[in-house]
Amino acid sequence: MTIDDYKLTIFLLIGLFFVFGCDNAPNENCTSVGRPARIRPDYRDTVIPPNIAPLNFTVEEPGSRYFVRIYSDQGNPIEISSRTSRIFIPQDSWRTLLDANRGRQFSIDVFVKQAASASSPDVRSFPWQRFSTVMAKIANEDIDAFLVYRKIRPGHRLWRDMGIYQRNLQQFDESLVLDNGYFKQGCLNCHTFCGNRTDKMLIGIRSVDYGNSALLVEDGRVSKIGTKFGYTSWHPSGKVAAFSVNDVRLFLHSSASEIRDVMDFDSFLAYYLVDTKVAKTSPDIARKDRLETYPAWSPDGQYLYFCSAERPSSDSAAIPSTEFTLSAVEGLGTSFENYSQIKYDLVRISYDLAHDRWGQAETVLSGAATGLSILLPRVSPDGRWLLFCMCNYGCFPVYQHSSDLYMIDLADARETGQYKYRRLQINSDQSESWHSWSKNSRWIAFSSKRQSGAFTRIYISYVDADGRVYKPIVLPQRDPACYDWCLWTYSLPEFVTEPVRAAKEKLGRVVRSSGHVSIEMPITAATPKVLPPGPKDQLPRLGSGQAWMGERE
Amino acid sequence: MAKGNVGSAGIYLGALSKTLFHASWANQYLALLRADPNLSADAEVHRVRCLSLDKDYPTLSLPKEKVLSLLLEKNSQNRMAFEYLIAWYLLNKQLGKFVSNIERLRDFGYIELPTHYEEAALIYVYSAGKGVALGGYQSSPTLRRQIEDFSRILRGYGADKRAAFNDLARNYRDTYFFYYIYANPGFEK
């Protein structure tokens, strides 16, 4: 090519830019639509973390060209032009904008150019439509950098793939902590961290091939405890982990929007002393006439909160494991037909770590008083708020659309002696559950089925100093439409301030290894029936595979 | 879709729309869901809704006979439920219940008894030792000869099932007579 040829090429490119390129941004001649554009996920009036990954979204307005301007008081606006309705926000600009505008409003202006039609094939002549500004707020306080959750398909009794994953909330990176491919498609769940850190964590494992166990990670060392812990909570000292042992059964509804349901036929709480490698229980957390579950320590370690319900039958061992109907169960004298009457109370019990001594259990809030079953208590790390959920009955809120989030102001309770609860405004008409707190007590993550009724997704809400909880955002993904076809359910979101560093290969190796820490646990039923000789709070041995049946979200 | 859970249906259809072979079907239903979320005009969805149970019967497992009976109670024209129920009775050798349902076969268009049904009915008739109405169905002379021959061979071994096995298997291993004598379903009542 000669110099003249180059000049001609550049001239033609500039000409093409003016003919076609200018059409990518709106000018002053916009028509105003007079309402905000429909965007999904919906970020209008939310409060977002200043360190969150870009909130990519889809504009749900028909059009052939899209233009979005995101701006706040400080810094340059982010402008995105797109021929599709999916808006991908550049990560660096997004981070700069958010960081410069902590505590301020930010705005999203959406412009759409009408799609071409047979009668008007040339869209360049169409004016841009300008929608009303979408407003949201950037919080001052960071969110914990990582979120650990489990992904499983919304199955019924059987499963194949499941895994625990960690997500860097400042980007879109998701990495595997451990999946069941490392131990022949067994089950793993109940990942639990001490103080939002990952240097001390537990993962529950069920495996026909390698036995039930709890993986204990301590400062990079991984050991295998020879029994599975149920719902688990770390004492803030890191020296004690309280856990539940549940004889849980999945049952089915023949006609309901959610046909799966769960009932604990028996359960109790125990605790594991890390230094001495001993599991123990105490009479008030393992009552023969009660079902105890969902332990949660207060951040000062002085109280263990948990849920407790009257045990429906004294003879669960008489229930056959083969098929039967309600009438058959009635014939056996059990109370399965009253499953919908079981309501859990919220209870707490004091604990003296120095002397390994328990106080007396006291009811914080009763199911009889609320008319609902109280489940999953979680105290904010600053000790101020007690977040829990309530549903119509039973022990498993994920399968009940009635499950909503509630909160108690513990500071107010200390002053007044009354535990006043309130239903949060962020609830939907579907199930909300599996909530957790960020280290700074300003963010909660929870699982919700609000999108579809079947698939749990993770949502994040801001909690201000007065306990007001703001409209949540769904866990952002690089593809803003991914939740439209994603067949994973996301459960047990747990905030951590650092990534899990234990390698998945190492965790898998320890699961498969024969060596483990032996601890003594009950024999068959969860609630101890006959204590063996020895110290009264020492537990008898648990048969492998007895405590859990089926798999749940 | 049949339960009206549009959100979940949309996600499953969304996943199917990304597959090679089911994309067009899924996209068609996604468009239908957008136009008519209740899918009230869709014949297949309407058919499934007519067959579904309205009342909730919580169970710890799936009691087949109970569930199939409830489905038939809801919709007596549920052919699949009826045939599974009959199969359940035959598998479990519950011939009394089978015979008491034989008349209903006409409701489902059976002009004559299928061979294994007829064999099961003959066992019941011969065991009862008296005439039993088979809902107007006639048993074939061939099958009557077969059951008599089957009984003769078995009697020839002094009703010793184990000893008669090879002889009976030679001609009758594909009959319900043989199943009735030798099979152990493992889940009979």
Asked whether the predicted pLDDT for residue A346 surpasses 50, the reply is yes
Residue bearing the bigger pLDDT, B63 or A287: A287
Q: A494 forms bridges with which residues in the sheet? A: A148
Per 3-state DSSP, chain A is made up of helix, strand and coil in percentages (nearest 5) of 15, 40, 45
Give pTM, 2 decimals.
Answer: 0.87
Q: Which of A253, A323, A484 comes nearest B63 by C-beta?
A: A323
Whether residues A220 and A156 share a domain: the answer is: yes
**Residue of chain A minimizing CA distance to B16:** A485
pLDDT, residue A337, reads 66
Q: Under an 8 A CB cutoff, do B5 and A252 touch? A: no
**Residue of chain B minimizing CA distance to A248:** B60
A537 within some domain: no
A37 within some domain: yes
Whether residue A279 contacts residue A547, with contact meaning beta carbons closer than 8 Å, is answered with no
A351 within some domain: yes
Give dist(CA A111, CA A134) in Å, integer. Answer: 12
pLDDT, residue A383, reads 98
pLDDT, residue A265, reads 87
A152 within some domain: yes
Q: Across residues B62-73, what is the average pLDDT?
A: 89
B chain contacts of residue A254, beta-carbon cutoff 8 Å: 53, 55-59, 67, 70
Asked if B53 reaches chain A (Cβ–Cβ under 8 Å), the answer is yes
Asked if A482 reaches chain B (Cβ–Cβ under 8 Å), the answer is no
Pairing of strands A473-474, A86-87: unpaired
Asked whether the predicted pLDDT for residue A382 surpasses 90, the reply is yes
Residue bearing the bigger pLDDT, A336 or A236: A236
Whether residues A456 and A417 share a domain: the answer is: yes
Q: What tokens does A110 get?
A: 């959406």
End-to-end CA distance of chain A: 65
Average pLDDT, chain B: 92
Whether residues A129 and A244 share a domain: the answer is: no
A chain contacts of residue B62, beta-carbon cutoff 8 Å: 252, 323
Sorting pLDDT into bands at 50, 70 and 90, what band is A272?
very high
pLDDT, residue A399, reads 93
Give CA B101 to chain center in angstroms.
12
Whether residues A133 and A89 share a domain: the answer is: yes
Give residue A484's domain range: 146-512
pLDDT, residue B139, reads 85
Output phi, psi for B31, to 5 deg.
-65, -40
Whether residues A131 and A262 share a domain: the answer is: no
Asked whether the predicted pLDDT for residue A66 surpasses 90, the reply is yes
Q: Across residues A421-437, what is the average pLDDT?
A: 97
Q: Please give the interface size between A and B, counted as residue pairs whose CB atoms are below 8 Å apart.
A: 84
Q: Which of B11, B52, B56 comes nearest A484 by C-beta?
A: B11
B chain contacts of residue A249, beta-carbon cutoff 8 Å: 60
| Window from A5-14, A342-351, A408-417 with minimum mean pLDDT | A5-14
Nearest CA among A287, A392, A398 for reference residue A347: A287
The residue from A138, A156, A178 where one domain ends is A138
Q: Across residues A432-454, what is the average pLDDT?
A: 96
For A254, residues 6+ apart whose C-beta sits below 8 A from its C-beta are B53, B55, B56, B57, B58, B59, B67, B70
Residue bearing the bigger pLDDT, A320 or A485: A485
Give CA A142 to chain center in angstroms.
18
pLDDT tens-digit readout, B122-145: 999 998 877 777 888 888 999 999
Asked whether the predicted pLDDT for residue A19 surpasses 60, the reply is no
The residue from A120, A138, A156 where one domain ends is A138
Give dist(CA A269, CA A281) in Å, integer. Answer: 7
Q: In what order do the strands lie in the sheet with A385-391?
A: A373-379, A385-391, A404-409, A421-423
Output phi, psi for A8, to 5 deg.
-65, -40
3-class state of residue A414 by DSSP: helix
| Window from A156-160, A259-263, A322-326, B183-187 with minimum mean pLDDT | A322-326
The residue from A112, A138, A164 where one domain ends is A138
Helix or strand holding residue A194 (H, E): strand A187-194
A278 min Cα distance to partner chain B (Å): 35
Asked whether the predicted pLDDT for residue A316 surpasses 80, the reply is no
A chain contacts of residue B26, beta-carbon cutoff 8 Å: none
B chain contacts of residue A257, beta-carbon cutoff 8 Å: 3, 5
What's the longest Cα–Cα distance across chain A? 100
A174 within some domain: yes
Pairing of strands A86-87, A57-59: antiparallel
pLDDT tens-digit readout, A37-64: 999 999 999 999 999 999 999 999 999 9
Q: Under an 8 A CB cutoff, do B17 and A483 touch? A: no
Asked if A256 reaches chain B (Cβ–Cβ under 8 Å), the answer is yes
A chain contacts of residue B70, beta-carbon cutoff 8 Å: 254
Other residues' Cβ atoms within 10 Å of the Cβ of residue A543: 12
Whether residues A181 and A290 share a domain: the answer is: yes
Whether residue A238 contacts residue A288, with contact meaning beta carbons closer than 8 Å, is answered with no
Q: What percent of chain A has pLDDT over 90?
A: 71
- Residue A337 sits in a domain whose CATH number is 2.120.10.30
Instruction: Tell which B residues from 61 to 90 touch A, by Cβ distance under 8 Å.
Output: 61-64, 66-67, 70
Q: Testing the interface with A: which of B1, B11, B34 to mutate, by most A Cβ within 10 A?
A: B11
End-to-end CA distance of chain B: 37
Give dist(CA A68, CA A79) in Å, integer. Answer: 6
pLDDT tens-digit readout, B8-50: 999 999 999 999 999 999 999 999 999 999 999 999 999 999 9
**A186-190: long-range pairs with CB below 8 Å, 24+:** A186/A210, A186/A511, A187/A159, A187/A162, A187/A548, A187/A551, A188/A150, A188/A162, A188/A163, A188/A164, A189/A150, A189/A162, A189/A164, A189/A492, A190/A229, A190/A230, A190/A231, A190/A232, A190/A492
pLDDT, residue A552, reads 61
pLDDT, residue A361, reads 97
A552 within some domain: no
Q: Across residues A234-263, what is the average pLDDT?
A: 91
User: Is this complex scored with an ipTM above 0.90?
Assistant: no
Other residues' Cβ atoms within 10 Å of the Cβ of residue A222: 19
Q: What tokens does A456 get?
A: 């749990």
Give CA A360 to chain center in angstroms.
31
Of these ranges, A122-136, A222-236, A301-315, B56-70, the one predicted with the greatest mean pLDDT is A222-236
Q: What tokens does A436 get?
A: 């957790």
pLDDT tens-digit readout, B76-113: 999 999 999 999 999 999 999 999 999 999 999 999 99
pLDDT, residue A533, reads 33
Output phi, psi for A61, to 5 deg.
-130, 135
Q: Which of B3, B8, B60 comes nearest A251 by C-beta?
A: B60
Whether residues A337 and A425 share a domain: the answer is: yes
Token look-up 């024209």 returns: B77
One-letter identity of residue A452: S
A518 within some domain: no
Query: Alpha-carbon Rg of chain B, whole angstroms?
Result: 23
Asked whether the predicted pLDDT for residue A81 surpasses 80, the reply is yes
pLDDT, residue B60, reads 78
Output phi, psi for A343, to 5 deg.
-125, 130
Asked whether the predicted pLDDT for residue A138 surpasses 60, the reply is yes
Q: What tokens does A499 get?
A: 């990534």
Give dist(CA A299, CA A382) in Å, integer. Answer: 7
Q: What tokens does A546 get?
A: 């007895």
pLDDT, residue B55, reads 85
pLDDT, residue A14, reads 45
A166 within some domain: yes
Domain count, chain A: 2
- Residue A94 sits in a domain whose CATH number is 2.60.40.10
Whether residues A196 and A280 share a domain: the answer is: yes
Whether residues A307 and A405 share a domain: the answer is: yes
Whether residues A348 and A378 share a domain: the answer is: yes
pLDDT, residue A321, reads 35
Average pLDDT, chain A: 87
Q: Under an 8 A CB cutoff, do A484 and B14 touch? A: yes
A chain contacts of residue B33, beta-carbon cutoff 8 Å: none
Whether residues A133 and A255 share a domain: the answer is: no
Helix or strand holding residue B125 (H, E): helix B115-128
Nearest CA among A292, A309, A298, A242 for reference residue A414: A298
Token look-up 């307005």 returns: A61
Whether residues A31 and A172 share a domain: the answer is: no
pLDDT, residue A5, reads 57
pLDDT tens-digit readout, A186-238: 888 789 999 999 999 999 998 989 989 999 999 899 999 988 899 999 999 99
3-class state of residue A6 by DSSP: helix
List b or e across A49-73, with b for residues whose CB sees 16 or more CB atoms inside 10 angstroms. Answer: bbbbbbbbbbbebebbbbbbbbbbe
Give dist(CA A444, CA B20) in Å, integer. Answer: 39
Give dist(CA B154, CA B146) in Å, integer. Answer: 12
B chain contacts of residue A322, beta-carbon cutoff 8 Å: 61
